[in-house]
Amino acid sequence: MISPCNRYILIQKSRSTEPLASVIALPEGVFKAESEYQKVRVLATAPEVRPPISVGKDIVVLSHMIEEVEFDNQTVYLVLENHVVGVTKE
Task: Please tell me the predicted confidence (pLDDT) of residue 5.
Answer: 96
CB contact burial 22-37 (16+ within 10 A = b; e otherwise): eeeeeeeeeeeeeeee
Task: Please tell me the predicted confidence (pLDDT) of residue 52.
Answer: 94
The CATH number that applies at residue 90 is 2.30.33.40
Residue 1 is assigned to a structural domain of this protein: yes
Written as one string, the DSSP assignment of 7-66 is TEEEEEEPPPPPPPPPSSPPPTT--PPPPSEEEEEEEEE-TTPPTT--TT-EEEEEGGGP
Q: Residue 3 phi/psi, 5° resolution? A: -100, 115
Instruction: Tell me how far apart the alpha carbons of residues 5 and 48 are, in angstroms, rounded to a whole number.
Output: 8
Residue 80 is assigned to a structural domain of this protein: yes
> Average pLDDT of each block of 10 consecutive residues along the chain (90 residues)?
95 69 63 79 97 96 95 95 93
Task: Please tell me the predicted confidence (pLDDT) of residue 27.
Answer: 72
CB contact burial 54-76 (16+ within 10 A = b; e otherwise): eeebbbebebeebeeeeeeeeeb
Task: Please tell me the predicted confidence (pLDDT) of residue 17.
Answer: 47
Residue 20 is assigned to a structural domain of this protein: no
The count of domains in the chain is: 1
Residue 19 is assigned to a structural domain of this protein: no
Residue 38 is assigned to a structural domain of this protein: yes
Give the global pTM.
Answer: 0.79
